[in-house]
Amino acid sequence: MSYLEDSEQRRIFSENLRKYIGRSGKTQKDIAIDLDVNPPTFSMWVKGKAMPSVSVIRKIADYFGVGITDLVDDKAGKKGAVYYLDPETAEAAQQMHDNQELKVLFDAARTASPEDLRTTYQMLMALKRKEQGSDD
């Protein structure tokens, strides 16, 4: 692999890694510790200065609940058909894909009764109001 190819692969991996770190709500140091990786080494991957081994990339992918290709492929650079025309729907679908907890909620909702869904919705809205400080 040439220097430019290696440099480009590090850039792509770094961009994807930063995306998943941001979505996780955790710090780089916390994630490095969770993965049993030296935090300065992890920082080098985030900055695109170095690239982990394939086995470590698998470990990182598993940690974020994504596939290896989600970390190493240039998703942003790929042009093609857009599945969701509405940007808000596309963002919600991407968040659901990337977040294991949202996947679980979505899967549970598929088999829930309409009454259970209404109850769950009401509970979530009450929690949202409480979080916003408007307990009605």
Instruction: Give the end of a domain, one of 47, 72, 97.
Output: 72
Q: Is residue 79, in this structure, part of any structural domain at all? A: no
Residue 80 lies in a domain: no
Round to whole Å and give the CA distance between 133 and 135: 6
Residue 81 placed within a domain: no
Q: Name the one residue in this structure whose structure tokens are 């990182």.
A: 60
DSSP-based helix, strand, coil % in the chain, nearest 5 = 70, 0, 30
Full-model pTM: 0.56
User: Alpha-carbon distance 22 to 106, whole Å?
Assistant: 22
- Same domain for 53 and 114, yes or no, is no
Tens digits of pLDDT across the chain (136 residues): 444 478 889 999 999 999 999 988 899 999 999 999 999 999 999 999 999 999 999 999 999 999 999 999 987 655 444 566 677 777 777 777 777 777 777 777 778 888 888 898 898 889 889 888 865 5
Q: Tell whether 92 and 46 lie within a shared domain.
A: no
Q: Let me know whether 48 and 94 are in one domain.
A: no
Per the structure, the complete domain to which residue 94 belongs is given by 87-131
Strands (E), 23-117: none
